[in-house]
Amino acid sequence: MKTQELFTLLNENKDKSLLFEYAPTMLVGANYHITEVKHIAIDSVDCGAGTDAWNETIIQLWESPSEIGKTEFMKTFKALAILNKVGEMKPYDMKAEVKFEYSNPMFHTAQLFVSDFDIQENSLVIKLAVYKTDCKAKETCGVPEVVSETAEVCCDPAGGCC
């Protein structure tokens, strides 16, 4: 999801509670806060010596230990107010991919992509997912596009690109 798409979705659902599903049926606790927004510029070189550059918006979610047991989720309009305030200070690249950074005692720290969302009567549920790493230079490295479900494929060290 692009940053602009997130803002549009939030604006269209201002009156709803904002929930985040970080794994199937697992919700970020109602005690969450938006603790940081990162405007990241990526300038990369892949294993096949290909270069690329892009921007990302990373929104950090944190569960407050002092609010464990809280049952009322943040309203979308409050999250939008926080994100708008950030945008006044540091403008967004509205075309940037948006990710959410999150962890809890039973879930490792990860940058999660928005995989889907669900609009319910009183809530907006943003569904997050972890995407596996991938070789961006498959053609250069000779990695087949079709990956067997039982075998892990990686660049061949003898191929000269890894």
Model confidence pLDDT, tens digit, residues 23-60: 999 999 999 999 999 999 999 999 889 999 999 999 99
The pair of structure tokens assigned to 125 is: 């549920």
Q: How many domains does the chain have?
A: 2
Question: Are residue 48 and residue 124 in the same domain, yes or no?
Answer: yes
Judge if 77 and 140 occupy the same domain: no
* Residue 131, pLDDT score: 83
The one-letter code for the residue type at 106 is M
Determine the Cα–Cα distance for residues 28 and 51; give it in Å rounded to an integer.
Answer: 35
Clarify whether residues 109 and 138 are in a common domain: no
Q: Categorize the per-residue pLDDT at 143 as very low, low, confident or very high, splitting at 50, 70 and 90.
A: confident
Of residues 3 and 136, more confidence is placed in 3
| Tokens matching residue 89 | 């200070």
pLDDT higher than 90, residue 162: no
Q: Answer yes or no: do 85 and 142 share one domain.
A: no
> Across the strands, what pairs with 126?
20, 117
Q: Is 101 helix (H, G, I), strand (E, B) or coil?
A: strand
Is residue 11 located within the same domain as residue 72?
yes
Domain that holds residue 16: 3-131
The answer to whether residues 145 and 157 touch, using CB atoms and an 8 Å cutoff, is no
Q: How many CA atoms lie within 13 A of 74 on its CB side?
A: 24
Instruction: Verify that 97 and 125 share a domain, yes or no.
Output: yes
Which pair of structure tokens corresponds to residue 113? 């992509």
Decide: helix, strand or coil at residue 121: coil
Query: Does residue 94 share a domain with residue 144?
Result: no
| This prediction's pTM | 0.86
The reply to whether 69 and 116 lie within a common domain is yes
* 110/144 same-domain check: no
**What CA–CA distance (Å, rounded) separates 29 from 71?**
8
Same domain, 64 and 82: yes
